[in-house]
A = this chain, B = another copy of it.
Amino acid sequence: MSMSSSPGEDLLAIEEAANNFLSQEYDFRRRNIYLQGTGNVERSLWRRFADLGWLGLSLPEDYGGAGGSAVESWMLLQRLGAYLVLEPYLSSVVVCGWPLVTHGRKQVRDRLLPELIAGRIQLSLALNEPEGKHPNIITTLATPMDGGWRLVGHKSVVLGAPTADYLLLSARCDAQRIVLLIRPDDAGVMIRPYRLIDGRTAGEILFDGARVGPDSLLAVGPEADELLDVARLAGAFGCVAESVGVMKAALAATVEHVRARRQFGQALSGFQAIRHRIAAMHIACEEADALGWRAAQAYSLADPKERLAAIAAAKSDVGQSARRVCEEAVQFHGAIAITDEFPVGHYLKRAVVNERLFGNSELWTEHFSKAVFGWP
């Protein structure tokens, strides 16, 4: 198949539309108001995301989506990052929606995806556990009982959990992995909600003998493994896309600042040491954008190893470099960027969170080495 090196006009149109909407409805002042909310009042915005076609952008037309591929989401997610959008788009649409296109019980998918695309529900993947860093280790136990399951365990730092209508829960059942679809208000499910440092919601989920019925089964065994793999890759890719948007926004703010701000009789942009470091920030943005774009395109490749390699390469690079670019942005802005009133520090927060979610740079460098060189 033929691949392009940069987004074409159709994709740029998505970017422009997103900018138009977000600059109106999600400027930094409005965002601060949303941030004061409980995390659940913005369903009106969520429904507008649906109206804008964002929720179904890369989901199949059969379910009411636009049938796009990952490159369309690549454009949108960058904007959601750049505007520091708090809604659980990543956790709901990308991490849960994308795997449901191809994996899981068909009845469940056919029911959930149209609801998701229409903006009527939000989803969250309950995967991480407190014990280990490695997401493959699952200790939450699903014991078969009365045709359904009894759940005991603890899921930690679950992105989007507090507002989710459904949770995709990974658990161990006998020697296999299993993915169940449960509701936060199922008996025996307790969520401790909080915000992350970047303002997005997350929570601890405790299962103390919760009981769920037989219809909650989503996938089991190899099917569950694959679903979780797809979800993790989607999560990594989504973090990359958001963070590339974040770092570009941080760079743009910094360029504007150093041109305007004067010190010792000249604009900051006149100091060569600063100029060279801003050149380095720009290069980091270009490299990150190139890797993210390649990862987005890799979603259309038949070769799953190349897809893994492309996403791993991007997550490995962008995690760190987005944070470093944002640290530089803070440094060049000076003390103003240490205040919570000013957007630049929030770019750094978002970059920090995205660097760590779904595996950090070191982990994905290992994934890359394994996929490409066969190194253990």
Contacts and interface: CB of A to CB of B under 8 A. Distances in A.
A262 interface: no
Contacts of A273: 272-273, 275-276
A21 interface: no
A275 B272 CA distance: 10
Contacts of A276: 273
* Interface band, chain A: under 10
A216 to B, nearest CB: 43
A342 interface: no
A275 B275 CA distance: 13
A272 B271 CA distance: 7
Contacts of A275: 273
Interface string A267-285: 0000111011000000000
Could you tell me the dominant secondary structure of chain A's interface residues?
A: helix
Interface string A38-73: 000000000000000000000000000000000000
A271 to B, nearest CB: 6
A272 B270 CA distance: 10
A273 B272 CA distance: 5
Nearest to A271: B272
A275 to B, nearest CB: 7
Contacts of A272: 271-273
Interface in A262-316: 271-273, 275-276
Nearest to A276: B273
A275 B273 CA distance: 8
A272 B275 CA distance: 10
Interface string A229-240: 000000000000
A275 B271 CA distance: 11
A278 to B, nearest CB: 11
Nearest to A279: B273
A182 to B, nearest CB: 41
Interface of A: 271-273, 275-276
6 contacts: A271-B272, A272-B272, A272-B273, A273-B273, A273-B275, A273-B276
